[in-house]
Structure 1
Amino acid sequence: MNTSAPPWTSLARYVAAAALARMADGGAVVAIVLLVTLHGDGGSLAGLLGACLTAPHMLGPFVARRIDLADDGRKVIATACVLYALALAVAVASYGQIPVVLTALLLATAGLCGPLLTGGISTRLPAIAGCEQRTLRRAQGWDIATYGIGNTLGASTVAAVSAWTSPAYAGLSLAFATLLAAGLVMLLPYSAPEHGGNPQAVPGAWRTIGVMVQDGRLRRTLYMTCLVAFSMAALPITAVQMTRMLGIPLASAAVMTAAYGIGNLTGSVGLMLRPLRGSPDKLMTMLALGAACGLFAIVMSPDWMVAVGLFWLSGTVNAFFFAATLAARTEYAPPMARGQIFLWVAAMKITSSSAGTAVAGMLIGQDARLPLIAGMVLMTTAVLLSTLERGLSRQAA
């Protein structure tokens, strides 16, 4: 374990570890769905087994306490990577040869480790970048990029390996990537536990929720993250319906969705070059307002090329907003509960995004613009509530 490597070397290892872990977490569902479908077991079972991977993310905050309690948080994350790899590998290799219930349990075990592969790894950034704000926020720009890289590589790897061999081998390749991530995590710099040898000082899950509710900055981080994730989840579904409104080929929806993804990557590159400045609390409010304006512009877009540009712009703004929430979690969370707060916000973001996709699917049948209008209203409400809260806090102070 190298704890004296230069910061750029440690950051490169971090980016590789985070991208590999998030590639596995993002691509595993695709591999499972393809495996079940090609096996001839139907879409219902494919959806159920896919949910076994994603649903346990909600329990991530309860697992995250292990990071705050551990003498070496790297070991917790690396162990989660190894367990994820083993559970996924056994599940895909034995599918069709063991009862479906056992496959579901294996995938649920992997899913329970998933939050530590995504939000959990982010807790290592302060040990790499230090406490200097500009350096830390530049590192967070790299962190955001790993989500886009990981998700893109995950789906692409599954598609390529499945076409070449089979979805089972695609799942095994993701498991191998997670093992590589475990090794890289252990090469990251060591940081002493915040509890200073007193594990009783680390709050439990419910006490951590109380901290988030009572601290206005963390409370705003939570509800603004949830409402923005809920609202932005409508964009891929809306892209499909917009092709009918604009009278363009259905394949054009993929271009709009890709533009949104490229916008996220563009935003993360911009953050690496010029990190955000100022209070994360205020930045979240301004960027949420920018995201709401982006949805309004998409609703009003007159033609396809303008819509593509607006999808790209929305992706860029969303990357900036994500960076602001990472900064808020890092700077506002009590050190002894940082891991839990990171994963609480991450878990609620994933849940909100899933709910936003489901609601958009229900609204889209009435009018393609309804999901975006609803999202615009929700984000504007969050902006107004956040502004009002901060004003009341200043008066109280």
Structure 2
Amino acid sequence: MTAPSTSAPVPTVAATPAPAAEHRVLARYLAAAVTARLADEGARVAVVLVALERTGRASLGGLLIAALMIPHVVAAPVAGAAADGVRHRKPLYAAAFATYALCLAGAAELIGRFTAAAAALLIVAGCVAPLLLGGLSSLLSELAPGTLPRAFVLDSTTYGVAGIAGPAVAAVVAGALGASWSLVVLGLCVLAGALAFLALPLPVRARGRRPSRTTASLGGLSVLVRRRRLGAVTVTSGLSQLGLGALPVAAASVAIHTDQPALTGLIMSATAGGGLAGALLCLRLRVLHRRPERVLLICTGAMAAPLLLTAALPGKWPLLLLFALAGLIGSPVIVALFAVRDREAPPAVRTQVFTLGAGIKVTAAAAGAAVAGLATAHGPAPLLAAIAACQLVGAGAGALLLPAGRRPGTVADG
């Protein structure tokens, strides 16, 4: 059921795509989304590799990653408002793709030589990144309205593919050509995504009724506060990512304590692989689209179980299986989150809601990684327990905020 909103939809100058054409449109969209998100994931690894190669300081790499990730939540409302306010969105998104690509290539030359300038470029990249994450997802209701649940599921798989392929591309290119080339190649991936995006039939908005002054001034943040379902899933996903952002650090701690250096990459690949498999299974879960907010809360809380068991079961293969299980259980969370945003976001601030939600998740993950980095001396068990606790706290907080006894989109929610 689609949630009614208090804001009138902004009309568009385009017809709804025919069902047969939607598959081609969705394929182009997925190509653009995968390449952009692959670069976003890979850049976090490539930046550290360049810093190590040029300066030998891993701490510098951490600071540069923070420069790339932290601006997401600050810039997300501005980027979303820009996308919601323009009639011609293709030039805006294409500029975001090009800016991100050029900033990665520029940072490749400046890290270790003019590091402050490199940090400034990465901050700019972090400011446009929300359009390549949540901003792209917000377009699916226009690009594939006839197959929207399937489109959200496939869109969620792009994060799993990017999580696996992005760091792998960065590592392989760095080993073959040098660390700085890994950032250049990732920038080229973003440009390839821009070409796929420009081939999308994105409608031009007609001149319609402007959004109310209150909605325009408060934007997506006020919607997150006023619409309790949207606020509940946003709080849950933010607290969940606060824990999951520490997962790479916990994986590295596990590898160190077991004297198996390769285990870090294996753990992250197993988690991402489980998430990818789970996303494909979501195509068969009808309840996911009927009650997405409840599925999100249940799956978020359930992720705690395999994460806690990792500290108790010895052996590499049981460990990898548990991390894959955590990824599998957590995969419906992304799809459910997209579904709730799609139902609850008013058309006038739709992109703002998607970009702000994605920005909160990215920034929470960055904060989790930073806190975990300070706690590595205590070993992997406390880190994994803290990650599991974040899932339980997130699910509990969302359950408290979620309105009870009403169907999505009722007047009482708004």
Amino acid paired to 2:96: A
Amino acid paired to 1:129: A
Of residues 254, 261, 274 in structure 1, which corresponds to 2:265? Answer: 254
Of residues 371, 380, 385 in structure 1, which corresponds to 2:383? Answer: 371
Any idea what the Cα deviations from partners look like across 1:231-286, whole Å, max 9, x if unmatched? 233433334444677x6744344333321111011112222455633222211122
Contact 1:127 1:189 in 2 (8 A): no
Write the mapping of 1:292-307 to structure 2, written as runs, cut at 5 A. 292-301=304-313, 303-307=315-319
Contact 1:87 1:109 in 2 (8 A): yes
Distance 1:256 1:218 in 2: 32
Q: How much identity, in percent, do the aligned residues show?
A: 29
Contact 1:239 1:253 in 2 (8 A): yes
**Residue 268 of structure 1 corresponds to which residue in structure 2?**
279
Amino acid paired to 1:54: M
CA separation of 1:32 and 1:294: change in aligned 2, threshold 3 A: closer
Write the mapping of 1:1-397 to structure 2, written as runs, cut at 5 A. 6-40=21-55, 42-58=57-73, 59-93=75-109, 99-130=114-145, 132=146, 135-193=147-205, 196=208, 198=210, 203-204=215-216, 206-242=218-254, 249-272=260-283, 274=285, 276-301=288-313, 303-366=315-378, 368-390=380-402
Contact 2:103 2:121 in 1 (8 A): yes
Q: Per-residue deviation at 1:314?
A: 0.4
| Structure 2 gap segments, 5+ residues each | 1-13
Higher RCO (C-alpha 8 Å, min separation 6): 2
Task: Give me the TM-score of the superposition, normalised by structure 1.
Answer: 0.87
Contact 1:78 1:181 in 2 (8 A): no
| Structure 1 gap segments, 5+ residues each | none
Distance 2:111 2:308 in 1: 46
Q: Per-residue deviation at 1:161?
A: 2.4
Task: Give me the TM-score of the superposition, normalised by structure 2.
Answer: 0.83
Distance 2:170 2:267 in 1: 22
Contact 2:254 2:263 in 1 (8 A): no
Distance 1:241 1:33 in 2: 18
Contact 2:54 2:111 in 1 (8 A): no
Distance 2:48 2:379 in 1: 30
Amino acid paired to 2:341: R
**Residue 9 of structure 2 corresponds to which residue in structure 1?**
none
Q: Per-residue deviation at 1:387?
A: 3.3
Q: CA RMSD in A?
A: 3.0
Q: Per-residue deviation at 1:200?
A: 5.8
Distance 1:176 1:348 in 2: 27
Q: Per-residue deviation at 1:192?
A: 4.8
